[in-house]
Amino acid sequence: MSVWDLARTRLDGLPGGEGRNIAFEAVDRHVAHGNGDRIALRFLSSEGAARDVRYRTLALDSNRFANGLDALGVGSGDVVATLLGRVPELYIAAMGTLKAGAVLCTLFAAFGPEPVRVRLAKGHVKVLVTTARQYRRKIEPLRRELPDLKAVILIDEALPGTCSWQRLMAAASDRWRIPATSPDSLALIHFTSGTTGTPKGAVHVHEAVVAHEATAAAVLTLGPGDLFWCTADPGWVTGVSYGIIAPLVRGATSVIDDGVFEPERWYRILHDQSVTIWYTAPTAIRMLMKAGDALARRHDFRTLRLAASVGEPLDAGAVAWGEAVLGRPFHDTWWQTETGAIMIANLPDAPVCPGAMGRPLAGIEAAVVERCGGPEEAPRIEPAAEAGELALKVGWPSMFRGYVDDEARYRAVFADGYYLTGDRVRRDEDGWYWFLGRADDVIKSAGRLIGPIEVESVLLQHPAVAEAAVIGLPDPTVGEMVKAYVTVKDGIAADEALRRDILAAARSRLGAATAPRDIAFHAALPKTRSGKIMRRLLRARELGLPEGDLSTLDESTPVTTSDSTTED
Ligand code: PRX
């Protein structure tokens, strides 16, 4: 039996053989098995108080939300988005949306108005669940530009033109029958970034829960009795697959902390909550390392069985630090928005290979390839000599099934039965995979993918900016830092005041997590003869690296720096 079929046997399917629904497997199944009293979610406040939500309560509240959506005329295939921090309403809305047969799209609450608008529009979002503060700042001014957005539910206040969460829930029954859900019914949209164009909405189906189940068992060893802490924000794929779905499916208790990162508090959470399994990210690990070993050594982590990491390269030093200071090495895991679940990992029961992403899980066939064929042909692949692009044989249950409204972009990442990941890797003779870098220009900052075009298009909205190019530069803490190169319009002085003004405008439109940290004014940007800005060359020049193949460079645009300073 395949690992996927084995995972299917541990799941129930909807009663009456009516298909498979993620929320049923995550919540109602446990109640049906007599485990409704178990704690599903433990919310921590920044003051340290805890509020527990049991599986039964989550089942009833998500039923109410599904009924509320039904009353709003929302059902199968409609998209419901959340723009919320880690509050109970987010988890109720997530499960209720899936129970209603609607499609869940969680958005990162720290996004500025522009990334939110783009995603709501592109996702054809029909209902948004958010707070009054978020609504006033990010939605209300743009609402006319969002014709698909029929209802906004506010969890804290009632404002004109919105629905009140409290009223919707109070009026709704806590009984709900999940409609028949085919394993291929759409369940989730996760937005991710590419080098070109607007963000891509990766679409996932209910069958993905089979991979959440299997990987949560095999890689994270999650089960009832575990206190699991996934530190990823639910606005990103890790925060949904492993911050919401997988621990519930496995019947564990999730610790959910909505406070800001603070080393001392994080150590206290690990200790006070007796966390058994911890899934975090290299940026956080590096920040803990920076805070010093002495701080860590003031706490004991005796309950911690497993520490794992995802999202960015995890270096051997961080793995060793975990072992020395926490008593557990970090187990690196690799996956992507498009894969929906962990594909490559340092497994829990084998020695860690420090610095390597891991080995493909059972059920996953990985290859190292090069793309071949001309630009007009369908992509084809051939085996790479040593290093190359990581490709995954199609067929795992949580594989994304499309990019919203972008069939061509979807088709372009498949070749000869493989999904092409865009990551460059090396496989050693023992089968370990080592991350080398991205094959494209996307930026990874603090574990979040940032598309250069999304940032550049906001910079171009500034009245003084003529051209803009954005790249990621190595940063010792966040992995990559977003840096912008800008040319100004004729007659405008490229001075410090203007630099600050552009930075501030970018920050307010994009949000601090996505906006550039630094802007350099250039007299011209390097372009190909067809007029495309060569980000690769900007990066090479900034870092003093070999400039590579310059045969397409348009030599008529000399590149000179007129000013460059860094914002702290
Ligand atoms: O470049 C790889 C990097 O993160 C990308 C996927 O980002 P995203 O879709 O936002 O999903 C992040 C969390 C699943 C990958 O293409 N990445 C992910 N894990 C690792 C990694 N890079 C190095 N090592 C990893 N373990």
Name the architecture of domain 440-566. Answer: 2-Layer Sandwich (3.30)
Ligand 1 centre distance from Cα of residue 462 (Å): 32
Ligand 1 mean position to 336 CA, how many Å? 5
Ligand 1 mean position, distance from CA 312 (Å): 5
C-alpha dist (Å) from residue 36 to 172, 173, 209, 273, 524: 21, 18, 20, 21, 63
> Do 3-427 and 440-566 fold alike per CATH?
no
Mean pLDDT of 334-348: 98
Closest by alpha carbon to 392, among 432, 441, 457, 335?
A: 335
pLDDT at 529: 84
Which tokens in the block code for residue 50? Answer: 């805890």
Residue 478: is its pLDDT beyond 90? Answer: yes
- Ligand 1 pocket check: which of 286, 314, 336, 435 to mutate, most ligand atoms within 8 Å of Cβ? 336
Report which protein residue has its CA nearest ligand 1's atom 23. 313
Q: Of 47 and 226, which is predicted with more confidence?
A: 226
Query: Are 218 and 196 spatial neighbours (Cβ–Cβ below 8 Å)?
Result: no
What's residue 195's pLDDT?
81
- pLDDT above 90: residue 420: yes
Supply the pLDDT for residue 562: 43
Q: Which atom of ligand 1 is nearest to the CA of 338?
A: 9
102-151 tens-digit pLDDT: 999 999 999 999 999 999 999 999 999 999 999 999 999 999 999 999 99
Q: How far is the CA of 566 from the centre of ligand 1 (A)?
A: 27
> Mutate which of 203, 242, 312, 480 to test ligand 1's pocket (most atoms within 8 Å of Cβ)?
312
Q: Whose CA is nearest to atom 10 of ligand 1?
A: 449
Residue 556 confidence (pLDDT) above 90: no
- Band (pLDDT 50/70/90 cuts) for residue 530 is confident
Burial profile 174-202: b = 16 or more Cβ within 10 angstroms, e = fewer: eebebbebebebbbbbbbbbbeeebbbbb
User: Quick one: pLDDT at residue 563?
Assistant: 43
Q: What is the pTM of this model?
A: 0.94
Say if strands 50-54 and 39-44 run parallel, antiparallel, or are unpaired: antiparallel
pLDDT (average), residues 496-505: 97
- Report the C-alpha gap between 332 and 323 in whole angstroms: 13
Report d(CA 28, CA 364) in Å as an integer. Answer: 29
When pLDDT is averaged across residues 443-466 and rounded to a whole number, the result is 95
Per-residue pLDDT band at 550 (split at 50, 70, 90): confident
Which residue, by CA, sits nearest to atom 14 of ligand 1? 336
Q: Where are the beta strands (DSSP E) in 103-145?
A: 103-107, 125-130
Ligand 1: nearest atom to the Cα of 335: 14
* Contacting residues for 265 by C-beta, under 8 A, at least 6 apart: 46, 257, 259
The residue extents of the domains of the chain are 3-427, 440-566
CA distance 437 to 428: 16
Ligand 1: nearest atom to the Cα of 241: 14
Residue 547's pLDDT band, with cuts at 50, 70 and 90, is: confident
- Tell me the pLDDT band of 564, cut-offs 50, 70 and 90: very low
Measured from the Cα of 357, ligand 1's closest atom is 26
Least confident of 3-12, 369-378, 482-491: 369-378
pLDDT score, position 485? 97
More confident residue, 260 or 277: 277
Is residue 266 pLDDT above 80, yes or no?
yes
Question: Does the pLDDT value for residue 377 go beyond 80?
Answer: no
Q: What is 3-427's CATH number, 3.40.50.11890, 2.120.10.30, 3.40.50.20, 3.40.50.12780?
A: 3.40.50.12780
Mean pLDDT of the chain: 94
Distance between CA atoms of residues 494 and 522, nearest Å: 9
Tell me how far apart the alpha carbons of residues 1 and 529 are, in angstroms, rounded to a whole number. 55
Q: Which residue from 435, 441, 445 has its CB within 8 A of the most atoms of ligand 1, so it is best to mutate?
A: 435
Which whole number is the average pLDDT over 431-435?
A: 97
Residue 310 Cα to ligand 1 midpoint, Å, equals 7
| pLDDT > 90? residue 44 | yes
Q: How confident is the model at residue 565 (pLDDT cuts 50, 70, 90)?
A: very low
Best of 346, 421, 449 for a ligand 1 pocket test (most atoms within 8 Å of beta carbon): 449
- Quick one: pLDDT at residue 116? 97
Q: What was the pLDDT predicted at 558?
A: 52
Q: What was the pLDDT predicted at 557?
A: 57
Kindly state the tokens that stand for 412: 């372009």
Tokens of 296: 């860590």
Across 84-124, the runs of DSSP E, i.e. the strands, are 103-107
Write out residues with Cβ below 6 Å of ligand 1.
192, 237-238, 310-314, 332-337, 357, 421, 423, 435, 438, 444, 449
Q: What is the arithmetic mean of pLDDT over 255-275?
A: 95
- The model's pLDDT over 279-320, given as tens digits with 9 standing for 90+, comes to 999 999 999 999 999 999 999 999 999 999 999 999 999 999
**pLDDT tens, residue by residue, 314-335:** 999 999 999 999 999 999 999 9
Show the tokens assigned to 527: 């372009």
What average pLDDT does this structure show over 30-44? 98
What secondary structure, in 3-state letters, does 421-477 show?
A: EEEEEEECCCCCEEEEEECCCCEEECCEEECHHHHHHHHCCCCCEEEEEEEEEEECC
Q: How far apart are CA 558 and CA 552, in angstroms?
A: 14
- 158-212 pLDDT, tens digit per residue, is 899 999 999 999 999 999 999 999 999 999 999 999 888 889 999 999 999 999 9
Residue nearest to atom 18 of ligand 1 (CA): 311
